[in-house]
Chain A
Amino acid sequence: MNAIRAEGLVKHYGEVRALDGLDLTVPEGTVLGLLGPNGAGKTTSVRIITTLLKPDSGHIEVNGIDVLRHPDQVRRIIGVSGQYAAVDEYLTGHENLEMIGRLYHLGKRKARARAEELLERFNLTDAAKRTVKTYSGGMRRRLDLAGALVISPPVIVLDEPTTGLDPRSRLGMWDVISERVRAGATLLLTTQYLEEADQLADNIVVIDHGRAIAQGTPDELKREVGGERLEVTLGSRAEAQSAQEILTKVCASEAIIDEAAHRVHAPVTRGSWALIEAVRQFDAAGIEPVDIGIHRASLDDVFMKLTGQAPAEPSTEQEVAA
């Protein structure tokens, strides 16, 4: 069953077409990463799914409930955390979570107990009795995410949950998020960080100008866009030129040379075979590579190719050991 199903969502803001017939499906218990540059329509989609905004047209269901017809029922089963930490800065961390629990109608005692549990889980126990005004940005984000998990909702929607966090806090957030997914929750998350989508998402939808322009698992997307390439770094320019001839033959495709870096690369289909064959021929020709390996396209390449824009933060290219 699909936990989230959106069909043909269209939303205009005046002249701007924020969503242009977006379709999305998130099977129960999976994580969908919604990826796209700024202004692609990520936040608009999230606001529609979480009942905050009505689309101009289209259909949207969460756990089989029509969001437009029964928003109240949907609010009872979703947990939401937005792009800007929506916590009350004049309340303490504990008071914030207790208030959210009360508004989910947990009752006073349960709301308090749950607040304490979450504060502990998010490493905020020491700060529980301090007003949020004194919290760092990372602490606010954590508290906001905790707010989304107060009822252990079956469907969680997070809009750029780790934007602006330091790497350690980000890892901590990923931990908690994965834990909820292992417990059976369905998650839709928007992000500009490809690494985040790669780590957390089972499926990725890349959107741009309000439309899905690609979808698949992270691996599928990488394969579709870049495939693999064989890359060799040599000790001298002369060696690089000889290597270019060898690689062109082995890979059956024109090898590209970066003369300054003494580096040569060519696209391959049968990666491991090409690597072994190339090593053999280098050996026979008396060439000793400084570095040799198969490189797979990263989600950065995917993003660049599909949207023509660099992602928010470069992540290092992944090397596949051969």
Chain B
Amino acid sequence: MSAVAMALQDGWVVAKRNLTKIKRIPDLLIFSTIQPIMFVLLFAYVFGYAIPTQGVNYREYLMPGIFVQTVAFGAGITAIGLAEDLQKGMVDRFRSLPMSRAAVLIGRTTSDLLNNVFVVTVMSLTGLIVGWRIHTDIGRALLGYVLLLTFAYAMSWISAYIGLSVKSVEVAQSAGFIWMFPLTFLSNAFVPTGNMPTFLRTVAEWNPISSMVLSLRDLWGNAGQERGTGLPAEHPYLLACGWIALILVIFVPLAISRYREAASR
């Protein structure tokens, strides 16, 4: 069996094991959808009247932002899952087996991706209820979802690296998420960048989250007139794909090498 085939086969065995846990404790899934629904409602009804967006209804403008933020936070659970496996000795068990060294990570990121698919579905429904619509064609609509989930998958690998680097599940619970607040809020996800001070605006425009959000707005026809300046405004797809590739190229090898060295306790 080739190394890649083995990684995928073993990875699927591990992914099924992770999904069994969700099946046995469905509360996990239910609670992971409550936060995004809450965000949609709070932003749509509380901020919706205070944040001016030119040429587009705020709820339409907001939804791609919330989608990207939600999958980024959803990827954070990868850190918790791996930290838990490490703490409970499961990683030791896996590492003593003749399985692919990438399988535990492939399995975990895959099951977390499927978790994200579910969350995105629930959010889309919530969005439709509050008045969000996709105004383009089915092809571009699907392309948007594919891009969104690919980004979620890449973020999972950053999270995997964090989960294998921290000492306990408790630390993973904050370390896996804390950096996502500045990452997602310092972007065009919730407010147009036009009114930010120059320095912040530059950071926000080059933020991977912004490129993702702008791409989705374009693909789904939710973009307003104001889209920022320079390269990030002109080539959102290029930047979004570039960021995803960069994250994967850096964090897949980093996380795998962490896994190889990981020692419990």
- Name the CB-closest residue of B to A147: B93
- Does B263 interact with chain A (Cβ within 8 Å)? yes
B89 near A50 with CB under 8 A, answer no
A103 near B263 with CB under 8 A, answer no
With a cutoff of 8 Å between Cβ atoms, the chain B residues found around residue A51 in the complex are 95-96
Contact of A86 with B92 at beta-carbon distance under 8 Å, contacts A75-B98, A104-B98 already known: yes
B97 near A86 with CB under 8 A, answer no
Contact flags A56-87 to B (C-beta < 8 A → 1, else 0): 00000000000000001001101010101111
User: CA–CA, A212 to B57, complex, Å?
Assistant: 75
- Name the CB-closest residue of A to B261: A54
Interface positions of B from 1 to 49, Cβ below 8 Å from A: 1, 6, 10, 13, 17, 20-21, 24-25
- Does B94 interact with chain A (Cβ within 8 Å)? yes
Interface positions of A from 68 to 112, Cβ below 8 Å from B: 72, 75-76, 78, 80, 82, 84-91, 95, 99-100, 102-105
Interface positions of B from 56 to 104, Cβ below 8 Å from A: 88-90, 92-99, 103
User: CA–CA, A89 to B87, complex, Å?
Assistant: 13
Interface centre among A47, A86, A104 (most CB of B within 10 A): A86
Contact of A99 with B263 at beta-carbon distance under 8 Å, contacts A52-B92, A86-B89, A105-B98 already known: no
With a cutoff of 8 Å between Cβ atoms, the chain A residues found around residue B98 in the complex are 72, 75-76, 103-105
Interface positions of A from 4 to 39, Cβ below 8 Å from B: none
- Name the CB-closest residue of A to B262: A52
- Name the CB-closest residue of A to B90: A86
Q: Please give the distance in Å from A55's CB to the nearest CB on chain B.
A: 13
With a cutoff of 8 Å between Cβ atoms, the chain A residues found around residue B90 in the complex are 86, 88
Contact of A103 with B99 at beta-carbon distance under 8 Å, contacts A82-B89, A91-B20 already known: yes
Q: How many chain A residues have a CB neighbour from B under 8 Å?
A: 28
Interface centre among B97, B99, B103 (most CB of A within 10 A): B97
With a cutoff of 8 Å between Cβ atoms, the chain B residues found around residue A80 in the complex are 93, 96
User: CA–CA, A82 to B1, complex, Å?
Assistant: 29
B93 near A91 with CB under 8 A, answer no
- Does A113 interact with chain B (Cβ within 8 Å)? no
B97 near A75 with CB under 8 A, answer yes
User: CA–CA, A47 to B92, complex, Å?
Assistant: 9
Q: Please give the distance in Å from A80's CB to the nearest CB on chain B.
A: 4
- Name the CB-closest residue of A to B10: A103
With a cutoff of 8 Å between Cβ atoms, the chain A residues found around residue B96 in the complex are 50-52, 75, 78, 80
Interface positions of B from 103 to 123, Cβ below 8 Å from A: 103
Q: Please give the distance in Å from A50's CB to the nearest CB on chain B.
A: 5
A103 near B89 with CB under 8 A, answer no
- Does A285 interact with chain B (Cβ within 8 Å)? no
- Does A2 interact with chain B (Cβ within 8 Å)? no
With a cutoff of 8 Å between Cβ atoms, the chain B residues found around residue A103 in the complex are 10, 13, 94, 97-99, 103
B93 near A86 with CB under 8 A, answer yes
With a cutoff of 8 Å between Cβ atoms, the chain B residues found around residue A85 in the complex are 89
- Does A171 interact with chain B (Cβ within 8 Å)? no
With a cutoff of 8 Å between Cβ atoms, the chain A residues found around residue B103 in the complex are 103
Contact of A52 with B97 at beta-carbon distance under 8 Å, contacts A90-B24, A102-B13 already known: no
B20 near A95 with CB under 8 A, answer yes
With a cutoff of 8 Å between Cβ atoms, the chain B residues found around residue A105 in the complex are 1, 6, 98-99
B13 near A99 with CB under 8 A, answer yes
- Does A304 interact with chain B (Cβ within 8 Å)? no
- Does A256 interact with chain B (Cβ within 8 Å)? no
With a cutoff of 8 Å between Cβ atoms, the chain A residues found around residue B89 in the complex are 82, 84-86
- Name the CB-closest residue of A to B1: A105
A52 near B95 with CB under 8 A, answer yes
Q: Please give the distance in Å from B108's CB to the nearest CB on chain A.
A: 13
Q: Please give the distance in Å from B103's CB to the nearest CB on chain A.
A: 8
A104 near B20 with CB under 8 A, answer no
User: CA–CA, A103 to B88, complex, Å?
Assistant: 19
- Does A131 interact with chain B (Cβ within 8 Å)? yes
- Name the CB-closest residue of A to B263: A53
Q: Please give the distance in Å from B9's CB to the nearest CB on chain A.
A: 8
With a cutoff of 8 Å between Cβ atoms, the chain B residues found around residue A102 in the complex are 10, 13
User: CA–CA, A51 to B260, complex, Å?
Assistant: 10
B17 near A52 with CB under 8 A, answer no
A131 near B24 with CB under 8 A, answer yes
With a cutoff of 8 Å between Cβ atoms, the chain B residues found around residue A99 in the complex are 13, 17
A90 near B21 with CB under 8 A, answer yes
Q: Please give the distance in Å from B18's CB to the nearest CB on chain A.
A: 9
A86 near B88 with CB under 8 A, answer yes
User: CA–CA, A84 to B86, complex, Å?
Assistant: 12
Interface positions of A from 189 to 206, Cβ below 8 Å from B: none
Given A75-B97, A84-B88, A95-B20, 16 more pairs with CB closer than 8 A: A51-B95, A52-B96, A75-B98, A78-B96, A86-B92, A87-B93, A88-B17, A90-B20, A90-B25, A91-B21, A95-B17, A100-B93, A100-B97, A102-B13, A103-B10, A105-B98
**Which 4 residue pairs are nearest across A and B when measured between Cβ atoms?**
A86-B89, A86-B93, A75-B98, A90-B21
Which residues of B are interface residues toward A (Cβ below 8 A)? 1, 6, 10, 13, 17, 20-21, 24-25, 88-90, 92-99, 103, 263
Give 19 A-B contacts (CB < 8 Å), ordered by A residue.
Answer: A50-B96, A51-B95, A52-B263, A75-B96, A80-B93, A82-B93, A86-B90, A88-B21, A89-B88, A90-B21, A91-B17, A99-B17, A100-B97, A103-B13, A103-B99, A104-B99, A105-B6, A131-B24, A147-B93
